[in-house]
Each structure stands twice: as C-alpha cells, then as structure tokens.
Amino acid sequence: MKAGERVDVALRTAHLLRINSYMDIAILAMWTMSPRVDTMLGMVEASLRGESPGGKDEEPLRKVRALVREGREYLAGGEFSVAMGRMRVAHDILALRIISLSGE
C-alpha cells in the first residue's frame, strides 16, 4: 500500500464514522421518543449531503441516504416500526462499509 492511499482510506473511514455517530444518536432518540428526534434525523441527513471523499463510497451512501429519507418520512407518518427498520438497515450498511475499509 502506498503512503497516499493510507491517508485516503483514513479520511474515508473518518467521514463514515462521523455519519455513523449521528445515526447512533438519531436511533437512540427514536427509541426514547425524544422531542428532538427530528433535529437528530436532520443532522444525519445533513452529514449525508455532498459527495464522499474521493467519491469512492457513493454507492453505499446512496442507499443510506434513501433509507434515512424513507425512515424520516415513515416516522413523521407515525409508523415507528417501519421507520426504525429503515434506520437500522441504513446503519448496518454504513457499518459494513466501515468494516470493509479496514481491509484496504
């Protein structure tokens, strides 16, 4: 592995970990029915805006963006279980991508 590639992987991993931490907070807010859940979900969506570093993680992030958007819509419509399902799948996709980067 070349020195420049290592920095790239570290940056990509850090970016995904930041999104992951916002998702953790949002999911906990959903479980506890916090009055700030919509703000927390907004933080997740904001962290997903823009392209990933180098554009190398766009495919999994496209899926995550769609699932988070759907989850927020279902939650607003009062369908907690469906919303939580979307968020958990999005969270798992993100976690698997972070794990896969450890092999690069």
Q: How far apart are CA 18 and CA 37, in angstroms?
A: 18
What CATH number does the domain containing 64 carry? 1.20.120
Task: Answer left, alpha or beta for residue 2, where phi above 0 means left and psi between -120 and 50 means alpha.
Answer: beta
Looking at the structure of the chain, the number of domains it has is 1
DSSP letter at 49 equals -
Q: What is the pLDDT of residues 55-104, one digit of tens each?
A: 889 999 999 999 999 999 999 999 999 999 999 999 999 999 999 998 86
Enclosing domain of residue 88: 3-101
DSSP letter at 104 equals -
Mean pLDDT value across the chain: 91
Q: How far apart are CA 5 and CA 57, in angstroms?
A: 15
Q: How far apart are CA 55 and CA 12, in angstroms?
A: 9
pTM, two decimals, is: 0.88
